[in-house]
Amino acid sequence: MSQPKAEPQTQARARVRTVVIGHTSGGQGGGQGASTLCLVIAAALKAQGQKVATIDCAGDQALTRALAARECSLAEAGLAERPAAHRALPSGDGEAALDALGEAVAALGRGHDFIMLDTWGAGAAITRMAYALADTLVLPFTPWDLDLALDPSADTDLFDAGSLSSIGSIVREARRERRARDLGEIDWIVLRNRVPARQGFRLPARTADLVSRAAMEFGYRTLDGLGDRPAHRTALATGLTIFDRDDELAPVAEPGLAAISSALEAWTMVEALRLPLDPTARRRAALHAEWAAARRTPLELDPMLGPEG
């Protein structure tokens, strides 16, 4: 007698996606807006219903302080939310730090759609390990840093490990480690960040040519990031991003059109990352947003029940 066929199982949950925000300078980095990017991208993913965890392995722990400030900002506004899953790794670059990173990624990988990692200096061992764990690797450059990184005639002491040739060798090694471990691929993105609003994101002709040639050599994509705007500059201090701004929180410190531009460039950047989003979670987030908007709208009364005139 033949056995009954088993019911088809529901599709297995997709593997967690690891997004690493790197620093493109030596030492502990800083100045490229990496921690702000990590905070903003995580907020955008959460706004779309994704379950996001964060790991701070940067020397200055800026992301950890921003998340603590976020809790205070929400409490002052009389709001509360479920604390995000976050790990602040111990400072240092030894075996203990490397083991802590591996344990954090393994633990947070269960029950989350994305893990965001904020790293530190480009040459640190923990950063190299984080790069090898990445599905998406985002390296932000300011316009000035990008010009230096592309200019082979520049004095290397000016930017230490910031040149694309040295960073390219680090990413190339991370890609080899990733393929050897699980045949995975790393989507490397060079992101032009903190561009003055008056300058716009258009690259000078020479820089654009160098960026294109380097992209072919090293295998990265180029994107525009966040402009140097008040809404983004205050994110680390308050823990609030452009995605949190509504009537219940502090207003954006920008006039109307500038505030719209800040939100547009942030959404454009996040969409261009091409991160795989869970469609069910996106629908759930959209319905929640509709409910939240309706909750703030006064109920309409039938004319027969309300006062005349």
Task: Check which CATH number belongs to the domain holding 213 and give it.
Answer: 3.40.50.300
Two structure tokens written together for 297: 């709208």
Full residue range of the structural domain in which residue 113 is found: 17-280
Is 309 a residue whose pLDDT tops 70? no
Residue 256 forms part of a structural domain? yes
Residue 294 forms part of a structural domain? no
Number of compact structural domains in the chain: 1
Which residue type occupies 47?
A
- Are 132 and 142 spatial neighbours (Cβ–Cβ below 8 Å)? no
Q: Which helix (H) or strand (E) holds 2?
A: none
In angstroms, what CA-CA distances link 206 with 53, 110, 195, 203?
39, 46, 17, 8
pTM summary value: 0.80
pLDDT (0 to 100) of residue 102: 93
Residue 292 forms part of a structural domain? no
pLDDT (0 to 100) of residue 147: 67
Residue 7 forms part of a structural domain? no
Mean pLDDT, residues 40-56: 93
Residue 42 forms part of a structural domain? yes
Instruction: Name beta bridge partners: 188.
Output: 137
Tens digits of residue pLDDT in 68-103: 999 988 888 777 777 779 999 987 778 888 999 999
Determine the 3-state secondary structure of 122 from DSSP: coil
With bands split at pLDDT 50, 70 and 90, how would you rate the model's confidence at 243?
confident
Which of the residue ranges 24-33, 79-88, 107-116, 220-229 would you say has the lowest mean pLDDT? Answer: 24-33
Residue 307 forms part of a structural domain? no
Mean pLDDT, residues 223-249: 81
Query: What is the percent of the chain where pLDDT is above 70?
Result: 71
Using alpha carbons only, what angle is made at residue 241 by residues 132 and 263, rounded to the nearest 5 degrees?
A: 100
CA 252, CA 270: separation in Å to the nearest integer? 20
Residue 6 forms part of a structural domain? no
Residue 273 forms part of a structural domain? yes
